[in-house]
Chains A and B, each alone.
Chain A
Amino acid sequence: MAALGDTTRALDAASLRLRIVLGSFAGAIGCMLLVALAVVGVGDSYWITVAISVTTYAAMALGLNVVLGYAGLLDMGYAAFFAIGAYASAILTVNLEWNFFLSIPIAVVVTGLAGIVIGYPTLRLRPDYLAIVTIGFGEVTRTAFNNWDYVGASRGLYPLGVPEIGGLRFDTPEAQLLLAAVLLGLVVALVNRLGVSHIGRGWRAVRDDDFAAEVVGMPTLRLKLGAYIVGGAIGAIAGAIFAARSVAIDPTNFTLFVSVQVLMVVVLGGLGSVRGVLLAAAIFVVLPEILREIQDYRVLVFSLLVIAMVRVRPAGLIAERPTPDRAALPLGALPEPAPAPAATGPAPARRDDARAGEPLLEVRAGEPLLEVRGVTQRFGGLTALQDVTLDVRRGEVLGLIGPNGAGKTTLVNAICGVRRPTAGTVRLDGVDVTGRRPHRIAALGIARTFQSIRLFDQLSVIDNVVAGEYQAGHLGLADAFLRPRRERRHQGEAVGRALALLERLDVRDAALRRPSELSYADRRRVEIARALAGNPKLLILDEPAAGMNPTEKSELVELLERIVAGGTSVLLIEHDMPLVSRVSDRLAVLDQGRLIASGSPETVLADPVVVEAYLGPGAAAGGAR
């Protein structure tokens, strides 16, 4: 058994090294070339041609994998990117007589831009609307090409030239396969790198729960747009491969059916899984060639396979790598947590402040941190909040209570930017944040938890926490694939900080597990850790004690006290009166959208207006009924 364990570890380490290799450009390209050379070695031009088809599908599927597999956007018109890339390359080489290799970067840029154009209107759409709209874009693109005489309209462009560079002509199947392999390797490396980067984490968070991702501080719209841009750029490379090996291109190469087939490959391979998608592309092309009898049934067979896959093994042939991806971290086991900050004491500096070279901010207790002024929220005919004015002061815990339906969560939503208030303002630290996008508000220092815990189930616990400080990194898309070492270092530091937080919250052992495996109380803790990751000025907790037993509740109280001591103010929505009155410095009471009382817990809880709000009219007078 021990030997088995050793083998497992060895294979694990090997797999890890392989992934790191595949994440490097040289590695991925080298790998693809090796496979290509093997096929060339077999020497059969038929199979070489088949292999080129595999690379085309694989490239397209990897591109769609970024859009759908990573970011969760059901783009059903992916062939549009393929078309734009292929046509761009063809126009440059045929009509303008450019060199094929020069046309590739241009095609990539053009298609990336197309990604913005196509992606932008879909950013806020629900998944089902998004699917239909992308179908629409696919059709519109194809119709446009079909009617554009410059590219031959329905006849298409023929003949396409042969790629050449410095006297080398890629006119044989062998040469074309090697060229295609290099381009595919490029794509594999790109996708791998993005997958392990903070952008990849952001995408997966968006895919899992884009609402939570936005509120936690991720710029979801920008992330989605980024996915389209990258997906488009990869589609362009696939298009270039296609143009390189084809004699002619015409609009029938880019139909909805092509989009659907690429989608099938991605689903079969496994959303988010690079190796899976590569394998699925190979099977998709090769299987009907080997089993000639099934050629006529090809579409039916693969449709049924997709159905079976989704029902039986939704993760796909080769499941996406669990996060965190160790390939992104310094080799070896998880790093030790950063030294735990003191349980009490001045607030750790916010990164911005430290960078600016200013001295650590001192806790100025008592001054208003969050100022809510006259906030009103109307939904159609219903007024959920009416002219609410309150403060959360620095260093305090403000308890927000009120009967069910009073508008507490609505108020929190208004503060966090989920919904712009109909009237009124919200200021944080003097800055007006009314109605700004939630991730901007999160970046400015407000973090929250949700009534129903909204963790990212597809990410591990530690990744959830790291996600909480997304904004602070200031690393962009370009960094993700151009500066892997810097990425890795940054990630390593983030993981260290996250571990420290988990330690502080007594859930460090759960770091590599999925949230769904944890107990309710632990999940709550992880959510709080995530909220704290960004070093917020204000932490809003929405019924954190719900479903907890007394032990857990008193642990929660201790935790809250530690948090406040660490310099973060807290706005606490709770129903558990003893708990909330014990831990809060002040209470505010909402009833039917209005603030009906505020002050110290004793005063507020004795206030007859408050009692009546909870127990009904006349309750204050006669005591319990």
Chain B
Amino acid sequence: MTTPSTPASGPARAPRLRRLLALTAACALALTVAACGSDDEESAGGTSGGEPYKIGILAPTTGSVSSDGEDMVNATKLAVEEINAAGGIDGRKVETVVADDACEAQQGVQAAQKLVQEKVIAVVGGFCSAATLPAIEVFERSGNLPFVVSVSSNPDVTDPGRKNIVRIIGRDDQEAPAEATYLRDVLKSEKVAIVHDNTEFAVSVAKQARSLIEKQGTPEIVYYDAIKPGGNDYRAMLERVKREGADTLFYTGFHPEFGPIARQWGSLGFDYRLLGGASTINQNVIKLAPKAAADEKFSIVTYPTAVLLEGEQAEKFRADYKKLSGNDPGSYGVFQYDGMQVLFEALKAAPDKTDADSLNARLREVKHSGVTGDIAFDEKGDRSAFPFLAVRSVDDSFAPSWSISPAGSWTEGGL
């Protein structure tokens, strides 16, 4: 570019050359130091009685879903503080190293490599499959490092039948069947519009829902399209749905868009029902559209999340989380929390054996009653049983109106 000042040629070049050499030397030095050196710990260690367990955390703390990454990190902190306060595992404290995968592939690989370099004994985390899948390759290559996948629901994570994966959240293809049957049996919909947001997860759910619904025979899919995430105005799409004659709009994307969608749906007074998929569940939806979310035409089919879970454990989790971070828990942190607990259980079973093979075997055997329900793993590493809830807003928070247990069908009331 044309610039205000440019260096002259000639004799001035030599000093620049020297500067270049100095710079290169400095960089090389830095690289070497970093390569040989960095083994600094993350959080407070303190060993009492033995070397602390070092656990890697893979989460998107920067990038498009950094709020969820934050959520996961907070949940991790909660789990770690609890267990350390109780004296650790077999007297040894737990430490974590957080690696940011920024919800993208290159960063994911680097983050995974960093955790391997830090010599963690296991990893808990994984949100975006774009980052999680490459990270899995890295862990596999590094001697099958145990990986407790907390939030990434892509079937590709477990389908290849890996030895080192257990997953806390359900799979993409578990959500869609619940929604398909909900549409047919509870809402008794005859014409449905399916809308996603072009992101990988939402598209996958939408596609599966579509093929399941087609197999079911009912309802008829009258409109299938996408909106652009990050926008604010969804009137056009809402109008189109009405034009196509749908009696239900099923949105498979995420909560930042669903809030405005619900609000505009409500304020423009559309007749058709509004159904959100599992990723739309978030308190912000109620905040943004309090009346719409309480409307009886409104519902969300979701995993039982932190907010919805009933029972003492869930209450305690919510309270403790709020005390620790000052905010209410997000939707997915609770899976991370349960993931940590599962790992703790596996460690407790044989505290001295932290090698990958035996840890992997123990992880598969874990049976834990977590905040998200009873946890046990099948031969692929997936949750053997996963319930779903249909919720709407009651007194400004989500409450279940229908539920379905894994093998059963939709029944009124909560779990």
Contacts and interface: CB of A to CB of B under 8 A. Distances in A.
A371 interface: no
A47 B35 contact: yes
Interface in A11-35: 11-12, 15
A124 interface: no
A248 B154 CA distance: 13
A50 B61 CA distance: 19
Interface string B31-42: 110111010000
Contacts of A314: 1, 3-6
Q: Which of B32, B113, B204 has the most chain A CB atoms inside 10 A of its CB?
A: B113
Contacts of A296: 61-62, 100
Contacts of A252: 103-104, 130, 200
Contacts of A156: 130, 200
A56 B10 CA distance: 33
B62 A153 contact: no
Contacts of B35: 42, 44, 47
A290 B204 contact: no
Given A42-B35, A44-B35, A457-B2, A158 B203 contact: no
Contacts of A15: 13, 17
Interface stretch (B22-30, B210-218, B334-342, B353-361): B22-30
B191 interface: no
B204 A458 contact: no
Q: Which of A46, A172, A207, A296 has the most chain B CB atoms inside 10 A of its CB?
A: A46
Interface string A282-306: 1100100110000110110000000
B11 interface: yes
Contacts of B43: none
Q: Which of B4, B9, B117, B137 has the most chain A CB atoms inside 10 A of its CB?
A: B9
Contacts of B204: 155
B198 A146 contact: yes
Nearest to B100: A295
A322 interface: yes
B9 A253 contact: no
A12 B9 CA distance: 12
B366 interface: no
Q: Which of A271, A295, A318, A514 has the most chain B CB atoms inside 10 A of its CB?
A: A295
B34 A47 contact: yes
Contact-residue size bin, chain A (C-beta under 8 Å from the other chain): 35 or more
A207 B1 contact: yes
Given A11-B14, A322-B9, A154 B199 contact: yes
A87 B17 CA distance: 39
A559 interface: no
Given A246-B134, A247-B105, A283-B27, A460 B9 contact: yes
Given A246-B134, A295-B100, A50 B105 contact: no
Contacts of A95: none
Interface in A67-94: 72
Contacts of A290: 30, 34, 38
A458 B27 contact: no
A34 to B, nearest CB: 12
A45 B113 contact: yes
Contact of B13 (A12, A155, A172): A12
Nearest to A245: B109
Contacts of B62: 295-296, 298-299
B48 interface: no
Nearest to A147: B198
A448 to B, nearest CB: 22
Q: Which of A249, A250, A517 has the most chain B CB atoms inside 10 A of its CB?
A: A250
Contacts of A282: 27
Q: Is the interface of A mostly helix, strand, loop or mixed?
A: helix
A557 B386 CA distance: 95
Contact of A8 (B11, B20, B27): B11
A250 B27 contact: no
A49 interface: yes
Contacts of B184: none
Contacts of A247: 105, 109, 133-134, 137
Contacts of B20: 275, 279, 318
Contacts of A298: 62
Interface residues of B, number: 53
A560 B377 CA distance: 93
B24 A279 contact: yes
A384 interface: no
Interface string B132-148: 01100110011000000
A258 to B, nearest CB: 9
Contacts of B116: 45-46
Contacts of A153: 203
B197 to A, nearest CB: 9
A155 B106 contact: no
A208 interface: yes
B116 to A, nearest CB: 7
A50 B4 CA distance: 35
B38 to A, nearest CB: 8
B67 to A, nearest CB: 13
B133 A155 contact: no
Nearest to A242: B106
Interface in A483-506: none
Contacts of A245: 109
Interface in A143-164: 146-147, 153-156, 158-159
A12 B17 CA distance: 8
A11 B18 CA distance: 8
A302 B1 CA distance: 19
Contact of A315 (B3, B36, B100, B141): B3
B242 interface: no
A42 B32 contact: yes
Contacts of A207: 1-2
A283 B31 CA distance: 10
Interface string B187-206: 00000000000111001100
A156 B130 CA distance: 9
A314 B114 CA distance: 35
Contacts of B36: 42
B27 A279 contact: yes
A569 interface: no
Interface in A450-472: 457-458, 460
Contacts of A155: 200, 203-204
Contacts of A250: 105, 130, 200
A248 B105 contact: yes
B244 to A, nearest CB: 20
A579 interface: no
A512 interface: yes
B85 interface: no
B16 interface: yes
B145 to A, nearest CB: 12
B110 A154 contact: no
Given A282-B27, A319-B7, A72 B1 contact: yes
B326 to A, nearest CB: 18
B268 interface: no
Contacts of A158: 133, 156
B60 to A, nearest CB: 11
23 contacts: A8-B11, A8-B14, A11-B18, A15-B17, A44-B117, A45-B116, A45-B142, A47-B34, A53-B106, A156-B130, A208-B2, A246-B105, A249-B105, A283-B27, A289-B114, A290-B30, A296-B61, A296-B100, A319-B6, A322-B9, A457-B2, A458-B2, A458-B6
Interface of B: 1-11, 13-14, 16-18, 20, 23-24, 27, 30-32, 34-36, 38, 61-62, 100, 103-106, 109-110, 113-114, 116-117, 130, 133-134, 137-138, 141-142, 156, 198-200, 203-204
The list of the 9 closest CB pairs from A to B, nearest first, reads A322-B9, A314-B3, A46-B117, A8-B14, A46-B113, A247-B134, A49-B113, A154-B200, A154-B203
Given A11-B18, A46-B113, A315-B6, 13 more contacts: A8-B11, A45-B116, A154-B203, A155-B203, A250-B200, A279-B20, A290-B34, A317-B23, A322-B8, A458-B2, A458-B6, A460-B9, A512-B10
